[in-house]
Structure 1
Amino acid sequence: MVKVSVIVLANGNENGLNKCVDSVLKQSYKDFELIVMCRQQNDELINRFQDNTQVKIHVDGTKNINMLRKETIDQARGEYLIFIDPRDFLMDEKALEKLVILSNEKDSELIISSHMLLKQGRFSYINVDTEIISYNRFRAFQLRAFQLSENEFRSLDGTLIKRDLFEKINDYNLPAQLLLTGLAEGAQNILYTGLNAYVCVEENDEDRNIKLVWGKGNEFHFSNTYSIVEKNRIEQYEPEIPSTIEVALCIDDNVMDYMETLIYSIYKNTSSYVNVNIIYKELSDESLDKLAWIDEKMSTVNVRPVQISEELHKSMEKISLGHDKWQLPISSYYRIFLADILPDVSRIIYLDADTLLTGDLTELWRTDLEGNFLAACLDERAYMKKVRSILTSRRREYFNSGVLVFDLYLLRKYKIINNFLGFLIDTADLYELGDQDALNLYFLDAVKLLDSSWNYGVPSYKKYTGVVDIKLLHFYERTKPLRSPYNYVSDDRIKEFVRLYRKYYHEAAELTEYRNSNSKISIIITAHSADEDFFKSLGSLSYQMYPNKEIIVLDATEDNKLKDKIKSIVNNLPYIVYYDCNGRDVVEVKKFAVSRSTGDHLYFLDSPNYINENFILGELNEIMIKNKADMVTSTMMIFYPSENNFAGYGIDDKEIDISSESIENLQTRYPGNDYNMLTGHLFDKKLFNDLGELNFTDEKQLMAKILAKAEKKMRKNSYYWVEVRN
């Protein structure tokens, strides 16, 4: 059996001392000594144990708690030591026995047992799996403890420590937190277990949370990057900055819809030549073809697809992504390997796919990194005290990883990447925000913080102060600009940012004229009110990913409310055309709109009806081109607002050729009355030529004429639009 020294440092707080001591004396494991260090004379305690050789009582009121701790360690004779706060106690008589057994089984020199909290008569605890943890993982747990009040990582109390570890400690005049850190750094096997053997007592509203120790030499540095930066500054390191800007976009097929717009925004706003390095593992032939097409169309931008190796991809698969709150795709982790992926590039700007450049990237490219490994912008969540951050105590240094400037030369010179990967593999499951948290920890004090205008978050939790000109928009979280904001966004400013993105999206499409978007679609939407329902209908059209479109708004409202509201939208989105019916017959205005439309195809919608997915126009267009059809029909779903209920007629998502069906059959057999109205169909505009009078009042009769003229008719049995029935 190994001997255990149990140490109680009363430190003048001796109210619970008897209970604390009794919990030790009743232990089933008997090979222990109990050392109680008091700061004041306690005759009752001394008399009680004067004949007990297992218990040693010392009184010294002249030294601080750190020196008292050193004194008791010197006196201790146990192979293992455990400290107990005089307010606390061991949970049951087998607490020591369980800890010693674990130390033998796991050959552990440091056993950290999760604490049980006793507050106002109630016990609380967390479930913890027993595991051997690395020093990096210990530090991550220790830092997390200051968010989650896990006391076992903030003090020595309740931890079983091999005595030999104290021989590696040079300075005992340290807070317990830093002393524990030093012990862990020297330990061979650190064991974290959920025994809940130690009870931490909080009386009334007492707060025993220990504050994180910051200050020079005491920071939570997980690497030596900060010291290298200090060295770079002393040596006045000045990197050469090439004239051609290097940009990295790390992608997979899921974000290809954003590539054209982002690259176009770089092309439109940047005064320098730019190499855009597309980092990927697998992309479809269509995605690669589109990137090549974009490269041809943008003269000052060179788009270079760079496929990562299988070996590198496997390295990233070791990262524990399962606990990533946001379920980041593995492609988002490619950025940490840019120094290896692009060995001939000395500096690079990394951009998330959901960003939009509105300023000149040259300014960011020439930023002086001041010897740091990277530059980044403060994360907007850092402004919010209620938001928990991995750097809560230094929240104003927590950066967002969506826009980064890397000094790749420094990363290679000091062989940073392999060490960082090992750290990330070890600790990734402890983070809320994946490698963003890990980057913040590993490069703490090795980052140049940029003006927030270079990574302006949409939505903004707090309006940034001092940001005059926004140079780069970043569409955080759910606010993706190719989704309709009308379902979940009430902030008009956010909607303006989304409209700005769609303006760029439209301009990019016009510039590149990529295949399958050569056919222009004219959408005619009739507004019957100026309320939010209309803007939801309009939004469902404007957020369609199909770029080559025009939206013709027919204002059938009775006043100027819609005209006033829609003005800014029309100014921002040039593909929206507005017609004020102004008391005229809507039917006549609709005829006028058809005649003035510039599209090859026509689509009709009446508000408050709406399209329910952002890919629908593109898919209908694909079906039309593939089948050389004259019209393509989709199925509607009915929404009853008063009941908040949807109803449908059954779908199978199949593409069906209905060309052989009679007009009578088409207009009677489908329960949704699909072929009695114009909504829900994509028409070849030629069908409307030579029809004579376009009687929009009787859509059933008009549809019969169109069906008779259409030779090839296709149907997509999918719920692609919603009819709202009040």
Structure 2
Amino acid sequence: MSIFDTGLNPLKKTKVVPVFLTINSAYAPYAAAAIHSLTQHANKKRYYRVIILHDGLNWVNRVRLRSLVTKNVAIQFKKISSSLYLKAIVKYCSRRKGAGDFFSSAVYYYRFFIPRLFPIYSKCVYIDSDTILRGDIGELFDIDLEGKMMAAMVDPKVEVIPEFREYVDRAVGVQYWDYCNSGVLVMDMKALRKFGYLSALVDTINKYDADLVAPDQDYMNVILRGKILHLDAKWNMEPAEELPKDAKLVHFNLFNKPWHYKNVPQEKIFWNAARGTGFYGELKRQQQAFDAEKQKADHEKIEALIKKAGRLSKTKEPILKFEDK
């Protein structure tokens, strides 16, 4: 039996700290920076297993990601195989290719598969690939979920962008101050399995085929309404010129990616993490190639997303009506 088939720390007979990321090959360079930052802040007395869910990483990217392994941080790859669940999600995503649709890849939904695919774990952490750790992720894993199924931070962009706030309140049907970002999660795997988290997602997709702004995140908030503990903001900080001293994780969410733009807030911590990977040169070339035309297209896509939120917020009643059975 492989050590990956158990929840044990091979260094000692203690539980592993499982950390999940979901990516395709295009996101491998950013995931590498996130993983390298994790290894730099990991507690040397604990054992971490980074599990990468993907849709088909090539051999070169696997080798470069695997090079980030340390004595107490292992890396495991898991390709999401075809299933009725995945087919329903892929079919849904194929219809979400219009202007303002940032999230039309099935990869965004792989986080819903985690509890079902890994029954050996009762708890885990999930992070987006555009995050950089400034503290030990084991501390995040250790938080008390206080009887909730998941922990996530209230989405800061929803709080400050009026169109997003109105969209969440009216179209999603979740009060904006209770609507959470799905980029950093602590999951009670056992509770989510019992609840039927993945089945609830696919059932809701099949029932509504909803046109949404951030579908995977919107579905999460509706399906788990009242079941999400609000994380401290230090575990999912927006990049800013000045970060609080206790900031543990920076999330380069949606706008101003440092691998596209120069002189963005906190770009230094991203490049410091990227420098320790085999993707540094590739990331620098991406930045150089992201010319004025691509920047214009990026801004137009973001404007379309905000415009879409404003349009959908005009609904008279929520688009989704999930009922916990």
TM-score by length of 1: 0.35
- The answer to whether the aligner puts 1:480 opposite 2:260 as a matched pair is no
Paired residues for 1:167-316 under 5 Å: 243-271=15-43, 272-295=46-69, 298-311=70-83, 312-316=85-89
Q: CA deviation at 1:484?
A: 2.3
SS in 1 for 2:182: strand
Which protein has greater RCO, CA pairs closer than 8 Å, 6+ apart? 2
Question: What is residue 334 of structure 1 aligned with on the other side?
Answer: 110
- The answer to whether the aligner puts 1:544 opposite 2:284 as a matched pair is yes
- CA offsets per residue over residues 102-133 of structure 1, 9 Å max, x none? xxxxxxxxxxxxxxxxxxxxxxxxxxxxxxxx
Paired residues for 1:184-583 under 5 Å: 243-271=15-43, 272-295=46-69, 298-311=70-83, 312-320=85-93, 322-323=95-96, 325-384=101-160, 386-387=162-163, 388-391=166-169, 394-458=175-239, 468-486=245-263, 495-506=264-275, 508-509=276-277, 514=278, 544-545=284-285
Higher helix proportion: 2
Paired residues for 1:57-96 under 5 Å: none
TM-aligned CA distance change 1:390 to 1:425, over 3 Å = farther
Q: Is the 8 A contact 2:112 2:197 kept in 1?
A: no
- CA offsets per residue over residues 607-652 of structure 1, 9 Å max, x none? xxxx84169xxxxxxxxxxxxxxxxxxxxxxxxxxxxxxxxxxxxx
Q: Is the 8 A contact 1:457 1:476 kept in 2?
A: yes
Give the distance between the partners of 1:354 and 1:251, measured in 2 at CA: 10
Name structure 2 gaps, 5 residues minimum: 1-13, 292-325
Give the distance between the partners of 1:398 and 1:292, measured in 2 at CA: 35
Whose Rg is larger? 1
Identity of aligned residues (%): 24
TM-aligned CA distance change 1:428 to 1:348, over 3 Å = farther
TM-score by length of 2: 0.74
Q: Is the 8 A contact 2:38 2:137 kept in 1?
A: yes
Give the CA RMSD over aligned residues. 2.8
Question: What is residue 289 of structure 2 aligned with on the other side?
Answer: 613
Give the distance between the partners of 2:239 and 2:271, measured in 1 at CA: 14
Runs of 4+ in 1 over 4 A off after TM superposition: none
SS in 1 for 2:167: coil
SS in 1 for 2:145: coil
Q: CA deviation at 1:428?
A: 4.9
Q: CA deviation at 1:438?
A: 1.1
TM-aligned CA distance change 1:423 to 1:452, over 3 Å = same
Q: CA deviation at 1:545?
A: 4.9
Q: CA deviation at 1:314?
A: 2.0
SS in 2 for 1:303: strand
Name structure 1 gaps, 5 residues minimum: 1-241, 487-494, 522-541, 547-610, 616-726
Give the distance between the partners of 1:483 and 1:338, measured in 2 at CA: 30
SS in 1 for 2:250: strand
Q: CA deviation at 1:371?
A: 1.1
Question: What is residue 302 of structure 2 aligned with on the other side?
Answer: none
Q: CA deviation at 1:418?
A: 0.8
| Aligned partner letter, 2:156 | E
Q: CA deviation at 1:496?
A: 4.2
Q: Is the 8 A contact 1:321 1:428 kept in 2?
A: no
